[in-house]
């Protein structure tokens, strides 16, 4: 976006090049602060203002607004290149698009594209808001590139179009800078915030890149896979304080074998140049092949690997936000992959000796690494374009022209099927439709390997650093099989003839009539039910019924005309309901559950995700902090209280469990943000349930509830040394005849990331307990996708349990039903528990 004022433009054109450069202020001059100095931070709005000024003053810089963030900030990228390239942007974008998808081009045409094209280098900074250095460095670097008159820099800008995002999470950048400034000079200076640095997802904003649930992820995905098609992507992060100073590629093990090897050849060459330039400039503590693997597709540039983009990561040692830290030599440690003991190795030839480390150091290291990647992209312009072309061609050639996945439109969750197809389209994948509405995904396309990765099951490779010792554990989760996570059936098939480009099917919602029946089991149904509850009358059948000449299962919801009209406004593709003459007489009124979500001061991403999912589906949850819970009287205000996946220690006391042997200091927070539910909070929850409330515990919080309420349930795996699981999909057998599980299939994939499964015992006559789901008896059937050790221990154990307690109810879900909003297939467990809370 060009917003150059007439006067500025006149000045720019009137003056010579060097005078023009001198007229462009540095970030420090423009902002009236010493950027990069100790304890000094420019916030996101200042950064945006500076880039707007650069855009106005320099023909080498052009801002592009990517959209609004969750809290309404402008997300932007700065395209930085030679004046000629900026003016020629549309043509260069067209070339990049063709290189990313060369189908139908002749050899001569692709050669011409390589000759004419520029490397598009995409650099994202500061996705994690405490990792603040790169957001500051970006301003200084952009100024240097906009004003440089040396031949080398000008040549680089001739060969490369840099697409620079100073912050990929503006909301969090603002929250963290505000928190930091507020606490400067106090004992909390540079300490953690008691809430997430994203309105919903905190650090998990870098786990969203295959599901695309957040606005920022969606906006950047549009820019990358629909508009710019960069060949190289660098994501700049920060890591802990007591290890190496910077980690550059090559990555650590394991590497996914389905990613094109030329990705790693590009990445390794660039990483080597980063290390080379850092060492030349006397920067110690540079490491590669350290900790960060290349196997999991959830992060920014990770997802890009399967889409033929060479994605790189740098991680620089942190300070206390912008406050220097002093690290004693003896505090420096290895311990991770690639550096078992802190000391000289081939991948770490010059260890940092310890001392003071400041924001300026972070920015200097990042600046050298950034210049080095720009240099490599210029040096290797034609090679990198040829490699990108080869990756796209090989991806297409991996599959037969007729290889495809079919996403049947008619299935148990038709809305989920439409949603899966729409997600692929958002990713830039080509999807087609048959006349019956089925989606077809041809695999012989540039992102075919990406589709195959997400549509098939994972088996985590058991690599060992030392023979006979433990395997290298996954960096994050070990499973991302979308159809299983979404509860959608797909099949590998042959592409039929007569397909058209994919188009979302419109919901099939008749509105003529007096009553409408909506079958249970689709998570998307909750949107309709919740909207309907706010617009008219909604009834639920607690047993199988017949209506309109058809049988309906237990859990079917009946909406009157007013409710149906309100619901139709929230309908998504693939949804349908049927008009019936009247709801069955046995159906009971359903009302909107009043839901509270517990929020600890040790910021919980699962709390944020839970809130996000419930809001998306129209539940309108309220947040309950420690003080609110401790104050009691919850039953008057809430039907259901949800405890997200938070450990019993954090719920009880506000402090995480101290790992045996690990030296982890948990910095203190201002008094109003300390403590947990304590005794009063536990008593208040107990009273809430005794009076008739429903307490829903997700994953590890179940242990808190079991203990505080003295339930006849225990974690069967608590002391099982042989059992381990890493973010994987496990098979659970569901009993669908309970309000919590209405409409769910007999077999579901549940997302499990900890050693948690229940043993139950028969209670006394005052209590009812029902096992809602359990793991299969045949333990070899337990793992669907990912990695598990010792599955014998989890066989036959309960995954979900419902209990009566006093006049109320308890639902224990011993897995992650709404994990990162990536598991719609199991959202109905949570939604069902909330609707059950309003039942008599």
Positions that interact with Zn ion (CB under 5 A): 128, 131, 237
Furthest-apart CA pair in the chain: how many Å?
91
Q: Report the nearest approach of Zn ion to the CB of residue 315 (Å).
A: 7
Q: Report the nearest approach of Zn ion to the CB of residue 461 (Å).
A: 24
* Of residues 205 and 701, the one with the C-beta less far from Zn ion: 205
- CA distance to 74, 76, 209, 439, 520, per residue, from 423 (Å): 24, 23, 11, 12, 23
Q: Report the nearest approach of Zn ion to the CB of residue 787 (Å).
A: 23
* Of residues 131 and 754, the one with the C-beta less far from Zn ion: 131
Please classify residue 660 by burial: count the beta carbons closer than 10 Å to its beta carbon, then call 0-12 exposed, 13-18 middle and 19+ buried: exposed
Quick check: 100 and 119 in contact, CB under 8 A? no
Name the percent of the chain in helix, strand, coil, to the closest 5: 35, 20, 45
Q: Report the nearest approach of Zn ion to the CB of residue 191 (Å).
A: 18
* Of residues 128 and 391, the one with the C-beta less far from Zn ion: 128
* Of residues 132 and 557, the one with the C-beta less far from Zn ion: 132
Q: Report the nearest approach of Zn ion to the CB of residue 145 (Å).
A: 24
Q: Report the nearest approach of Zn ion to the CB of residue 371 (Å).
A: 21
In sequence order, the 6+-apart residues with CB closer than 8 A to the CB of 455 are 405, 441, 481, 482, 483, 490
Q: Report the nearest approach of Zn ion to the CB of residue 753 (Å).
A: 19
In sequence order, the 6+-apart residues with CB closer than 8 A to the CB of 12 are 4, 20, 23, 57, 58, 59
DSSP 658: P
* Of residues 237 and 427, the one with the C-beta less far from Zn ion: 237
* Of residues 128 and 797, the one with the C-beta less far from Zn ion: 128
* Of residues 240 and 496, the one with the C-beta less far from Zn ion: 240
Q: Report the nearest approach of Zn ion to the CB of residue 656 (Å).
A: 20
* Of residues 127 and 682, the one with the C-beta less far from Zn ion: 127
User: How many angstroms separate the CA atoms of 474 and 465, rounded?
Assistant: 13
Q: Copy the structure tokens of residue 638.
A: 């809430």
Q: Copy the structure tokens of residue 430.
A: 């080509």
* Of residues 129 and 213, the one with the C-beta less far from Zn ion: 129
User: How many angstroms separate the CA atoms of 504 and 592, rounded?
Assistant: 29
Pairing of strands 325-327, 293-294: unpaired
User: How many angstroms separate the CA atoms of 217 and 205, rounded?
Assistant: 8
* Of residues 117 and 172, the one with the C-beta less far from Zn ion: 172
| Cis, peptide link before residue 250, omega less than 30° from 0 | yes
Q: Report the nearest approach of Zn ion to the CB of residue 244 (Å).
A: 15
Q: Report the nearest approach of Zn ion to the CB of residue 605 (Å).
A: 13
H helical segments located in 185-312: 215-222, 261-280, 300-305
Q: Report the nearest approach of Zn ion to the CB of residue 128 (Å).
A: 4
* Of residues 245 and 406, the one with the C-beta less far from Zn ion: 245
Could you please report the per-residue DSSP string of 669-715?
--GGG---SHHHHHHHHHHHHHHT-EEEEETTHHHHHHHHHT-SEEE
* Kind and range of the H or E run holding 90: helix 89-100
Q: Report the nearest approach of Zn ion to the CB of residue 168 (Å).
A: 11
* Of residues 237 and 797, the one with the C-beta less far from Zn ion: 237
Buried b (16+ CB within 10 A) or exposed e, 255-276: bbeebbebbbebbbbbbbbbbe
- CA distance to 103, 693, 703, per residue, from 722 (Å): 50, 38, 20
């Amino acid at each position: 976006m060009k917003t150059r004022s007439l006067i500025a433009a006149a000045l720019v054109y009137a003056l010579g090049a060097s005078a023009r450069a001198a007229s462009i202020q540095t970030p420090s001059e423009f902002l009236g602060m010493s950027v990069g100095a100790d304890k000094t931070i420019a916030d996101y709005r200042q950064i945006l203002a500076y880039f707007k000024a650069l855009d106005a003053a320099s023909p080498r810089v052009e801002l592009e607004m990517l959209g609004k963030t969750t809290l309404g900030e402008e997300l932007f990228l700065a395209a930085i290149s030679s004046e000629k390239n900026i003016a020629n942007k549309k043509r260069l974008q067209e070339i990049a698009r063709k290189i990313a998808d060369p189908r139908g081009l002749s050899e001569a045409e692709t050669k011409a594209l390589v000759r004419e094209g520029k490397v598009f280098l995409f650099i994202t900074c500061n996705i994690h808001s405490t990792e603040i250095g790169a957001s500051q460095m970006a301003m200084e670097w952009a100024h240097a590139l906009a004003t440089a008159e040396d031949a080398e820099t000008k040549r680089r800008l001739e060969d490369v179009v840099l697409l620079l995002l100073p912050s990929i999470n503006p909301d969090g950048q603002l929250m963290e800078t505000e928190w930091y400034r507020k606490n400067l000079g106090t004992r909390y200076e540079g300490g953690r915030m008691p809430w997430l640095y994203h309105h919903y997802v905190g650090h998990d904003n870098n786990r969203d890149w295959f599901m695309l649930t957040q606005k920022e992820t969606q906006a950047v995905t549009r820019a990358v896979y629909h508009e710019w098609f960069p060949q190289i992507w660098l994501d700049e992060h920060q890591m802990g304080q007591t290890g190496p100073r910077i980690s550059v590629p090559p990555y650590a093990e394991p590497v996914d074998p389905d990613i094109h090897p030329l990705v790693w050849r590009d990445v390794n060459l660039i990483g080597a140049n980063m290390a080379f330039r850092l060492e030349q400039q006397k920067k110690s503590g540079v490491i590669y092949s350290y900790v960060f693997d290349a196997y999991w597709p959830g992060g920014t540039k990770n997802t890009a690997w399967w889409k033929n983009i060479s994605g790189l990561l740098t991680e620089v040692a942190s300070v206390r936000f912008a406050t220097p830290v002093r690290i004693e030599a003896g505090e420096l440690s290895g311990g991770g992959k690639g550096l078992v003991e802190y000391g000289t190795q081939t991948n770490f030839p010059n260890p940092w000796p310890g001392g003071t480390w400041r924001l300026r150091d972070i920015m200097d290291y990042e600046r050298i690494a950034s210049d080095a990647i720009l240099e490599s992209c210029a040096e290797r312009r034609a090679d990198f374009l040829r490699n990108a072309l080869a990756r796209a061609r090989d991806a297409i050639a991996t599959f037969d022209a007729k290889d495809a996945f079919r996403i049947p439109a008619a299935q148990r969750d038709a809305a989920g099927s439409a949603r899966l197809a729409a997600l692929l389209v958002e990713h830039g994948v080509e999807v087609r439709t048959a006349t019956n509405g089925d989606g077809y995904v041809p695999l012989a396309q540039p992102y075919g390997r990406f589709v195959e990765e997400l549509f098939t099951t994972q088996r985590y490779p058991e690599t060992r650093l030392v023979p006979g010792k433990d395997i290298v554990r996954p960096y994050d989760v070990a499973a991302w099989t979308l159809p299983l996570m979404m509860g959608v059936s797909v099949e590998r098939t042959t592409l039929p003839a007569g397909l058209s480009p994919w188009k979302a099917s419109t919901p099939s919602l008749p509105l003529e009539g007096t009553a409408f029946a909506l079958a249970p089991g689709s998570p998307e149904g909750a949107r309709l039910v919740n909207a309907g509850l706010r617009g008219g009358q909604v009834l639920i059948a607690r047993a199988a019924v017949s209506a309109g000449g058809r049988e309906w299962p237990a859990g079917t919801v009946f909406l009157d005309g007013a409710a149906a009209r309100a619901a139709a406004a929230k309908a998504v593709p693939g949804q349908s309901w049927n008009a019936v003459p009247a709801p069955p007489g046995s159906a009971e009124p359903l009302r909107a559950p009043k839901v509270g979500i517990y929020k600890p001061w040790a910021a919980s991403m699962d709390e944020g995700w839970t809130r996000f999912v419930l809001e998306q589906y129209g539940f309108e949850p309220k947040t309950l902090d420690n003080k609110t819970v401790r104050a009691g009287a919850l039953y008057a205000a809430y039907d259901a209280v949800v405890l997200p996946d938070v450990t019993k220690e954090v719920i009880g006391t506000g402090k995480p469990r101290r790992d045996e042997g690990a030296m982890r200091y948990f910095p203190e927070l201002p008094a109003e943000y300390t403590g947990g539910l304590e005794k009063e909070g536990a008593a208040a929850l107990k009273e809430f349930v005794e009076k008739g409330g429903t307490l829903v515990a997700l994953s590890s919080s179940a242990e808190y509830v079991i203990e505080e309420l003295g339930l006849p349930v225990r974690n069967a795996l608590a002391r099982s040394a042989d059992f381990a699981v890493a973010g994987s999909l496990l098979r659970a057998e569901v009993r669908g005849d309970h309000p919590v599980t209405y409409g769910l299939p007999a077999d579901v994939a549940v997302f499990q990331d900890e050693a948690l499964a229940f043993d139950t015992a028969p209670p006394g006559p005052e209590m009812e307990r029902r096992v809602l789901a359990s793991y299969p008896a045949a333990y070899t059937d337990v793992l669907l996708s990912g990695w598990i050790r010792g599955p014998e221990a989890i066989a036959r154990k309960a995954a979900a349990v419902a209990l009566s307690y006093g006049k109320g109810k308890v639902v224990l879900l011993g897995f992650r039903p709404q994990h990162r909003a990536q598991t719609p297939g199991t959202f109905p467990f949570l939604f069902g528990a909330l609707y059950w809370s309003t039942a008599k």
